[in-house]
Chains A and B, each alone.
Chain A
Amino acid sequence: MKFTQRYLGVATIVTLVATIVLGLWVTPPATQAQGGDLARLLYIHPAIAWVALYVSFGTTTVASALYLWRRTRSMVMDRIAYCAMEVSVVYIILTLITGSIWGRPTWGVWWAWDARLTSTAILLVLALGYLALRRANDDPEIRARRSAVFGILIALNVPVIHYSVLWWKTLHQGPTLLTPGQIAVHGSMLWTMLLSFFAFTFQFFWLLRARYRVEEQATQARGIEQADAIAARQREGA
């Protein structure tokens, strides 16, 4: 496992550094009409949003479903779902912040209550609600079951966010990459953008792995505390 962690770390650093170098110095700015240097946010914001919506929420949903399925039910799945959601919150917040930084100079406003932005803000509230729900339940089995059901339910918001720009009129632009047959980004800008998707995806799994290890150790520590307490009571009774 240390092996995986190390290689994930190396892959993350290499791809992130490459994205930064390509994004800041090698790629050309976009035309002035498209924001010039502002378009360099193309190498940050869409990739972070991709991780927030699809990679991390996808991980939580799959792990939650595997927990609910009897054959694959285990506390490992519950922990993966929980840790992925916690990391997801970080990425959703970063999505909103980078989007806002991009929105101010291009749209002229930091925030617009359109369908894309509002549904993303709702996703953040729901993700925080998932974490709060976990804290509200003390019994590990009940917590795992309720969280898994809730995790799958709130993931239903993800397709709504994805299609919001197509279903309704929004200030937010339509999809740049995830529209089949329509790639509208120029040459090296496109490759750098694709690289950023790999970089932030590696980064997510790296963070998830680290967070999982912390959670695993916390669970072990709780087990040791419990065993100590039982031993102490047994000594009292003897």
Chain B
Amino acid sequence: MADTNEATLSPVAPPPTAGRSRRRSIGVLVVLALAVGALLSQGLLHSLNYFVTVDEALAQKHSLGTQTLRLEGVVAPGTIVRTATGTSFVMTGSGSHRVAVSVNGTPPQLFQANIPVVVVGRFASVSSLHYVGNQIMVKHSSTYIAAHPQRVKAPNGTTR
């Protein structure tokens, strides 16, 4: 607020709306910063990478210990076994790196051999290569191939 008793050549005080606008703008920016901060802390601040690959996990096995992590690798063909409580399979990294995985619960419908998956869980012990998970996520590729590219639809609706 301008002091009306003081003679001064400085510009007159802006109308009160300008000050209010500024305060409200700052308020919006503060709320926004808090919201973005909350999203970042939830999502990215722990790690910008969503998962650890089998190769990385085995290389840092001692420092990772039995902490919860998201482990990524390819489902080895012929190793999927449906158990009473869930599924077990072998996950491979590049080369000869292999981890035996057992997961509780039903896997997603696209779960199958030879695809990359991310499993939330932890190693059974610091020295063990057995990984106990509670959730499987299928890492989808960006390739889409028609199921039956050779087939055509006849005018009567049947496929040939």
Q: Which residues of A contact B (CB under 8 A)?
A: 26-36, 39, 42, 105-109, 112-115, 117-119, 121-122, 125-126, 129, 132-133, 136-139, 142-143, 146, 167-171, 173-176, 184-189
Contact = CB atoms under 8 A, between A and B. Distances in A.
User: Which 10 pairs show the lowest CB-CB distances between chains A and B?
Assistant: A108-B108, A118-B43, A136-B24, A114-B50, A113-B43, A129-B32, A184-B143, A169-B49, A28-B146, A173-B142
Nearest to A142: B21
B142 A175 contact: yes
A114 B120 CA distance: 13
25 contacts: A28-B147, A30-B145, A32-B147, A33-B110, A33-B112, A35-B110, A105-B108, A106-B110, A108-B111, A114-B50, A119-B44, A121-B39, A122-B40, A125-B32, A125-B35, A136-B21, A136-B24, A137-B24, A137-B25, A138-B20, A139-B17, A142-B21, A176-B142, A176-B144, A184-B144
A171 to B, nearest CB: 5
A109 B110 CA distance: 12
A30 B147 contact: yes
Most B Cβ at <10 Å: residue of A114, A146, A170: A114
Determine chain B's interface SS by DSSP, over half rule.
mixed
Given A39-B144, A184-B143, 15 more contacts: A26-B153, A28-B147, A28-B151, A33-B115, A34-B141, A34-B145, A105-B110, A109-B137, A112-B50, A113-B42, A118-B43, A138-B20, A168-B50, A184-B142, A185-B144
A185 B144 CA distance: 5
Contacts of B86: none
A221 B153 CA distance: 57
A100 to B, nearest CB: 14
A220 to B, nearest CB: 22
Nearest to A29: B147
B43 A117 contact: yes
Interface string B71-87: 01000000000000000
B36 A30 contact: no
Contacts of A115: 43-44, 48-50
Contact of A142 (B18, B40, B72): B18
